[in-house]
Amino acid sequence: MLRLPTENTLDREEKIMAEQFTTLASLTVDGKGSYGIGASAVPFSKDLYTYLRITDIKDDGTLNLQDLKSVDDEKASEYLLKPNDIVFARTGASTGRNYFYDGMDGEFVYAGFLIKFSIDEKKVNPKYIKYFCQSKQYKDWINSFNTGSTRGNINAQTLGKMPIPLIERTAQDALVSILSSIDEKIKKNNEINNNLEQQAVLLFKKWFIEFDNSSKNMLETRFGLVPESFKLLKNGELPLVVTDYVANGSFASLKANVTLYQEPNYAYFIRNTDLKSGTFEVFVDEHSYNFLSKSTLYGGEIIISNVGDVGSVFLCPKLDKPMTLGNNIIMLRPEQENLRYYLYIWFKWLYGQSLIQGIKGGSAQPKFNKTDFKNLPIVLPPDDLLEQFHQIVKPMFELIDENNTENQALTRTRDTILPRLMSGELDVSDIEI
């Protein structure tokens, strides 16, 4: 359990260390950043190097391992990441997104829209740079390059000039030790969650794909042979609420009544990118929340991206504030509790994915609407089998939810103490882990 000191235990005159600012380039091995390889991604292969792209990096600096690609280029080995390298996205809406490489995630060749800096461990604790690049101070610096609604591009020279407060090496080491212990706990929780979800998926496949627990009297359907006791329905025929952000009103009324905030406010505005990263950083005020009453979230809803990153599927977590649905996603709320995890696995892992991909438009920005979704077919097992499945997997997903709640608390703790540790305001001797 991490305990923070109270203000009474801190003598600011004595505890705050003098900050010495330096630049990112001055803390590197060669004094500059380098651009990644300009090669096309190819399907993932164990015989090729894994290709690290902007889309593989989450906002919190961890990796999305769901859709990895490889790179097939004779010069690929020249762009392999080495421990203590940190890469930055240099363009588009992801500008500034970063990933610190410690060698634990496998081998990666970094792509051309990433810029790499090799941190010199003789000059600084490399992970101190990792944590600085997660701080509000860093994010504010990145945002200073924005122009209106456009995220500014950043080149290697500009990144090299990034101002970094350099505290004493012993304080750097202590900061890294404290924050790494938090990150390690979050990582272990995520590993447990992934294992639990895979167990649920395997059971789903055995019962509802291989039909190990069903009658052998089979009927031919578009999904192949299924037991005659199963039903073939449309999503719109299920006891299911399907809604989205625009269900609350016209674009004009939404613009007039909904205000988004980057600082904590009355309720969370849940977006696809937040669900991917596990960090929730956009809020609405109470008026906005009440206006968006048709898409209120309570936790446990199935959320599917229907614009852009079509087909991303999540279970909505339970957070410490009210929640409302963001744009470009739809929400499914089963009226029958035992449908929740069946539908989640169906849409995320199995036939549902191919069906969703089949209805997305052919425009530059793939998308589908609620009507298209409601017309999609689904195979539904008999109630008794559905209930059996629900009772088995429910404790798994409840534990996942508990771990996610703990991770949210750990993330808040980390984000709260990071600036205080970095400034020297927080004496490490006052912290218990």
Q: Name the average pLDDT for the chain.
A: 89
Three-state DSSP at 227 gives strand
Contact 378, 334 (CB under 8 A): no
In angstroms, the CA 306 to CA 356 distance is: 9
CA-nearest of 376, 353, 354, 240 to 301 is: 240
In angstroms, the CA 142 to CA 119 distance is: 19
Q: Map out the domains of the chain with their CATH numbers.
A: 22-166 (3.90.220.20), 231-380 (3.90.220.20)
Q: How many residues does the chain have?
A: 433
Three-state DSSP at 225 gives strand
Burial annotation 233-263 (CB, 10 A radius, 16+ → b, else e) = eebeebebebbbbbebbeeeebeeebeeeee
Q: Which of 102-106, 155-159, 230-234, 306-310 has the lowest mean pLDDT?
A: 306-310
Task: Determine the pLDDT at residue 4.
Answer: 45
Q: In whole angstroms, how far apart are CA 379 and each of 130, 217, 227, 228?
A: 47, 16, 10, 11
Compute the average pLDDT of residues 234-238. Answer: 94
In angstroms, the CA 284 to CA 259 distance is: 6
Task: Determine the pLDDT at residue 18.
Answer: 42
Radius of gyration of the chain (CA): 24
Task: Determine the pLDDT at residue 431.
Answer: 55
pLDDT > 90? residue 185: yes
Look at 160 and 352; give whichever has higher pLDDT: 160
**In this structure, what token pair is assigned to residue 377?**
């077919």
Task: Determine the pLDDT at residue 363.
Answer: 66
Q: In whole angstroms, how far apart are CA 324 and each of 64, 212, 329?
A: 25, 40, 11
User: Would you place residue 358 in the very low, low, confident or very high pLDDT band (cuts 50, 70, 90)?
Assistant: confident
Angle (deg, nearest 10), helices 136-143 and 383-423: 90
| Interval 34-74: pLDDT, tens | 999 999 999 999 999 999 999 899 888 989 887 899 999 99
How, if at all, do strands 313-315 and 224-227 pair?
A: unpaired
Angle (deg, nearest 10), helices 383-423 and 169-208: 170
In angstroms, the CA 283 to CA 259 distance is: 8
| Interval 20-36: pLDDT, tens | 899 999 999 999 999 99
pLDDT > 70? residue 141: yes
In angstroms, the CA 23 to CA 190 distance is: 34
In angstroms, the CA 137 to CA 200 distance is: 41
Q: Which of 16-25, 99-108, 400-409 has the lowest mean pLDDT?
A: 16-25
CA-nearest of 148, 159, 84 to 115 is: 159
- Whole-model pTM: value is 0.81
Q: Which residues contact 318 (CB under 8 A, 6 or more apart)?
A: 298, 299, 300, 401, 405
End-to-end CA distance of the chain: 5
Burial class (CB in 10 A: 0-12, 13-18, 19+), 330: buried
Look at 359 and 164; give whichever has higher pLDDT: 164
Q: Which of 212-216, 304-308, 328-332 has the lowest mean pLDDT?
A: 212-216
In angstroms, the CA 425 to CA 420 distance is: 5
Partner residues linked to 261 by β-bridges:
283
Half-sphere exposure of 91 (CA within 13 A, CB side): 6
